[in-house]
A and B are shown apart, each in its own frame.
Chain A
Amino acid sequence: MLKILKYSFFDLIRSKWSYVYFFFYLVISSSLLYLSGDISKVIISLMNIILILVPLIASIFGVMYYYNSREFTELLLAQPIKRTNIFLGQYIGLAVSLSSSLLFGLGIPFLLFGIFRSAEIWNFIILIVTGVFLTFIFSAISFLVALKNENRLKGFGIVIFLWMFMAIIYDGLFLLSLIVFKEYPIETISLTLSMLNPIDLSRILILLKLDISALMGYTGAVFRKFFGTDTGLLLSTLILIMWTVLPVWAIVRVSGRKNF
């Protein structure tokens, strides 16, 4: 598996899209830091970008990579290698290369700006960690979708729809349910609902770290009480891990049964 992982990783690292992705983050974060100079504000701006772009890029990249390396995969399948190893190796290679683009693209400017001497170091770490998690989650989902759909167009469509659902439609339905059921005590439900979507969960984790919670009044107090404690942080990390593990497990299952 390690060999396939290594091959996939270096294959992707050499592709120009990885460089584009890396330079995009490099330029965005360094120009924001240069223009504003306030690390906490830059983290908020980057949060908006990361929460939308990371899932989108990871999804599209994942589908694209699977379909493009299809012939190579078939070649590998002819060899005496376990299927699990082939697909997991490819998936992890993809996710690691995307995360390293994100990590270095954001990390280098912040390092030069002196993040280690700043009080915002924990907020930055949360930003990076959620970004990496989102990369792993959405590339796994897209890999799974591609695995299940031979039709490339359908695969792309489903992946884009899933992204749109998580990033936009889910919040719309969430808001609608809050408005419809506003007469009822809905704090716990809204807490649960926001934990079920990895994008929402990441957004709230970052916002609460940045002390926006005061804006939320009573609801904010409920959220802060939950996410601010160690149990809350542990639980939300667990949910993010679950969001990663479940699609990966599905990849293993589906790839084991699939006819090539």
Chain B
Amino acid sequence: MNRPNGYSGIWGLQMGLLFLMIFYSFFCAAGTVKVDQNGKVKTIQEALGMTSPGDTVMVYGGNYSEGTILIDQPLTLIGINRPIIDGHDRDSDIIIIASDSVTLEGFTIQNAGTSYIKDLAGIRVRRKNNFVIRNNHLINTMFGIYLEKATDGKIVDNQVIGQAIEEVSSGNGIHAWYCKNLFISGNTVESHRDGIYFEFVESSQLVDNISRNNLRYGLHFMFSNNDEYTNNLFESNGAGVAVMFSKNINMYHNTFTNNWGSASYGLLLKEIYDARIEENIFDGNTMGIKVDGSTRVTYHNNSFENNGWAIKFVGGSYDNKINNNNFISNSFDLVLESARNNNTIDGNYWSSYTGYDLDKNGIGDIPFRPVKLFSYIVSRTPESMVLLRSLFIDIIDFSEKVRPMFTPENVMDHAPLMNKVVY
């Protein structure tokens, strides 16, 4: 009867000691090392040799150029007056985070160089978790922030500015590969290949980011499931956002604007299942959304204005719901050609709708066919786009509208709204 008690006594003692040690390491021993070019410790490397886990390293303003900095202990690095860590185009990573629980804050990190063989990065996180990268400026680092199998990280308020000229010699602003539970917020990413790139990334959130002037995509999902991006701005990219081979992606309140060029899209969807696209604004894109295979996707409360094509479906797309959207002044509102169509396209506002509403319930009394004959012709003979806005085209579009012969007859909005959707 005593033995178990004795056991638990020793167990308790051990636990107590362990707790003490943890407590000690976190609160008592958590020292601060100051790095200052005029002070005692002059380089960050030197400081890293002196720290123990949990310490804080304060780096004061100045230009630090000391090769690759490897952080292999749980540390907090804080830059005061924005110290510069310069890679001098040495073709190596600038900072590597190789420990859990590292915080990096307030630095300017620049000039990683350009390599065709290695993926150089400003900040690389390697197989670790609980990192925080906050308020840093990354300038001309081939890849800005590169996450490999990293989880539970926060990337907040950074500016990642690249100098990409062509796709082969440039990297992505924020690159995540096999990651989980990331929170990426308030970052500005410019002039890279892809602004933000997700490959095999699960359960992550992107909020309030700005991605512009990137060569390929502002944001790129590959094989990434259960992610969400909200309130982001995608401007003047090759294509705003590309979501490919992914499931359960939520896209809310984003703005896709001015992605304009002969092969540009606001949003490109490729083999997508169960996504929600809600309350986004697509303004001035060559193609608002290009859909190459989407199933069970909800398009709800979006605004499409001044686009060449608002939504263009190619390939099989089933069980999509396109409701309560605004389609205003687009050259083509909707292109959907499959003969078998079980997508619902009801209750949208179309600025090109010419019907009437006699019973004044806000819903047009005759259905609207958003697919024009001309869009059907153009997708077969692209050269005929030369005839855009000519009177002949208006006439054949009108006659097709009266009696559809070429465009799918069952693609129509049964309850077109008379007034813009306000949400």
Contacts and interface: CB of A to CB of B under 8 A. Distances in A.
B383 interface: yes
B329 A179 contact: no
A217 B382 contact: yes
Given A47-B389, A168-B391, A203-B390, A220 B262 contact: yes
A214 B260 contact: yes
A186 B331 contact: no
Give the interface centre of B329, B377, B381 by most chain A CB atoms within 10 Å.
B381
B16 interface: no
A216 B386 contact: yes
B384 A179 contact: yes
A175 B263 CA distance: 23
B79 interface: no
Interface string A155-177: 00000000000011101101100
Contact of B262 (A174, A207, A218): A218
B382 A179 contact: no
B377 A175 contact: yes
A73 interface: no
B268 to A, nearest CB: 15
A211 B308 CA distance: 11
B392 A217 contact: no
Contacts of A190: 383, 386
B392 A182 contact: no
**B interface, how many residues as a size bin?**
20 to 34
A178 B389 contact: no
A178 B262 contact: no
Interface string B385-402: 111111111010000000
Contacts of A187: 383
A48 interface: yes
Give the interface centre of B309, B329, B386, B388 by most chain A CB atoms within 10 Å.
B386
Nearest to A204: B386
B286 interface: yes
A179 B391 contact: no
Give the interface centre of B263, B264, B383, B385 by most chain A CB atoms within 10 Å.
B383
Interface string B260-295: 111110000000000000000000001000000000
B139 to A, nearest CB: 31
A178 B392 contact: no
Given A182-B381, A190-B383, A217-B263, A200 B390 contact: yes
Interface string A196-226: 0000100110010001111111111101000
B377 A179 contact: yes
Contacts of B388: 207, 212, 215-216
Interface in B142-184: none
A219 B383 contact: yes
A238 B382 CA distance: 28
A24 to B, nearest CB: 18
Given A214-B308, A215-B286, A219-B386, A171 B381 contact: no
Interface in B277-325: 286, 308-309
Nearest to B381: A182
A41 interface: yes
A96 B387 CA distance: 30
B391 A220 contact: no
B360 interface: no
Give the interface centre of B329, B331, B377, B388 by most chain A CB atoms within 10 Å.
B388
Interface string A38-54: 00010010011001100
Chain A interface main SS type: helix
B286 A182 contact: no
Contacts of A51: 390-391
A174 B391 CA distance: 13
A221 B383 contact: no
Interface in B2-39: none
A204 to B, nearest CB: 7
A168 B383 contact: no
Interface string A99-143: 000000000000000000000000000000000000000000000
A161 B382 CA distance: 29
A194 interface: yes
A194 B384 CA distance: 11
Contact of A174 (B309, B387, B395): B387
B403 interface: no
Contacts of A172: 392
B389 A207 contact: yes
Nearest to A224: B262
B380 interface: yes
B399 to A, nearest CB: 12
B262 A175 contact: no
A176 to B, nearest CB: 10
Contact of A214 (B261, B380, B389): B261
Given A168-B395, A179-B377, A215 B387 contact: no
A103 B325 CA distance: 40
B385 A171 contact: no
A241 B390 CA distance: 22
B308 A171 contact: no
Interface in B352-372: none
B420 to A, nearest CB: 15
6 contacts: A51-B390, A167-B391, A174-B387, A200-B390, A212-B331, A213-B262
Given A171-B393, A215-B385, 11 more contacts: A168-B392, A171-B391, A171-B392, A174-B387, A182-B381, A190-B386, A203-B390, A214-B260, A216-B382, A216-B385, A216-B388
Q: Top 8 A-B pairs ranked by shortest CB distance?
A: A171-B392, A215-B308, A216-B385, A182-B381, A219-B383, A171-B390, A214-B286, A168-B392
Interface of B: 260-264, 286, 308-309, 329, 331, 377, 380-393, 395
